[in-house]
Amino acid sequence: MAAVSLTLTAREVIFSPMQDQEMAPGADGSVGVIKPRSLTGFTPPHELKLDCGRKLGPITQVYETYGRLNRRRSNAVLVFHALSGDHHAAGRCRPDDPKPGWWDNMIGPGKAFDTGRLFVICANVLGGCRGTTGPGSINPRTGRPYGSAFPIVTLRDMIRAQKTLTDHLGIRQLLAVTGGSMGGMMALQWAVEYPSSVRCVIPIAAAARQSPKNIALQEVGRRAIMADPDWNGGDYYGRTARPVRGLGVARMIGHISYLSGRTMWDKFGRRLMNGDRLAFDFVPEFQVETYLQHQADIFVKRFDPNSYLYITKAIDYFDLANGLRNGGSLKAHLAARFKKCPSKFLILSYTSDWLYPVERSVELAEALKSAGREVRHETIQTTYGHDACFLEANRMAPIIREFLEANQAA
């Protein structure tokens, strides 16, 4: 890889291998209040060469850490977030913050990723909108937000950017890489891209490539955003209106795919907001309709529509089998990719997940076995659907904790 120019920004803290988080663990068993850090690299002339052929730099990455890095720097776990996540995976942003990080039920003292033993890192992905360089960031060539000038990025580009972060922290080999959904696919990409840099790989509710059904769902969401008159070709920054209506529709579509049919019946059924009275109008009146609208209203306040376009496109491009070039089976292509991966794998899937169903995890496990890799596949019985990767902490924790403890001691 080409040399990378790293520049410490004003928000960066010089790292100590025994550094604690910003405050003591919270009374609720969380990691406490966490302050994000940022790292800027790929400064010209050492820009990151993207898979699309273009170069991008400088690149700022925002990240958080939890727990302490041991003296051998051998206890680090890199967590990748899903489509709508960010670097704030655990703890609180401030003492009175009402909502913890998106994986707070999994990261912390005594949890699946036990910060009493582990040093956990989570960074906002390239193309995101929570501090890491993305379409809403300032383009140094124009002094204005990138908007439509931001280049298309891939999951591979995202992990190549994050590799400089672990290098900066002085970590030669991670104990594990992990994540759910898109995060699980990034963990798989890391395993084949940097095989000697990680001991354990834990993809959760993921797949070796994006399916045509999932591409179709995400394309509908993208079209909703681009059809919004306020999108303005992607250059809406600085304008009064953003394409929040289109983004809201995209979020609704996403939420439908995250829930199982059983969950929808149990949670909403066909219940109306006004008892048994029908409105005979095109207003939301079923509880499931108002739920989707509520989720959309929350989401558009914190997420950039352009980031949604770029990240979903990156997910759709993901294919570890490289499009089955030159023929052959999926299993054979994947086995060839995994042949040079010395890591041990733990794959988690969920019975009611129809976005990344159990069959996709079975494909991964069989390819890994064919490649002679050590793999354990656990399927969890649940009605939560794809959202189980964020909700079934009690079921996942003992499996992950046992796996990591065995391999940390090895």
Which residue out of 84, 181, 197, 343 is catalytically annotated? 181
**8 A C-beta contact, residue 221 and residue 308:** yes
Which residue out of 87, 353, 361, 387 is catalytically annotated? 353
**Is 260 noted as a catalytic residue in this protein?**
no
Phi, psi of 90, deg, nearest 5 = -150, 160
**Is 181 noted as a catalytic residue in this protein?**
yes
Structure tokens at 8: 């410490």
**Is 196 noted as a catalytic residue in this protein?**
no
Which residue out of 81, 88, 333, 386 is catalytically annotated? 386
Half-sphere exposure of 81 (CA within 13 A, CB side): 26
C-alpha distances (whole Å) from 163 to each of 20, 29, 170, 332 are 22, 30, 11, 28
**8 A C-beta contact, residue 192 and residue 93:** no
Half-sphere exposure of 12 (CA within 13 A, CB side): 17
Burial call 304-329: b when 16+ CB within 10 Å, e when fewer: bbbbbbbbbbbbbbbbbbeeeeeeee
Alpha-carbon torsion, ordered 347, 198, 315, 90, to 10 deg: 80
CA 123 to mean position of chain CA atoms: 9
**Closest listed residue to residue 112, CA positions, set 53, 200, 192, 19:** 200
- Please name the amino acid found at residue 212: P
> Could you give the residue numbers annotated as active site?
181, 353, 386
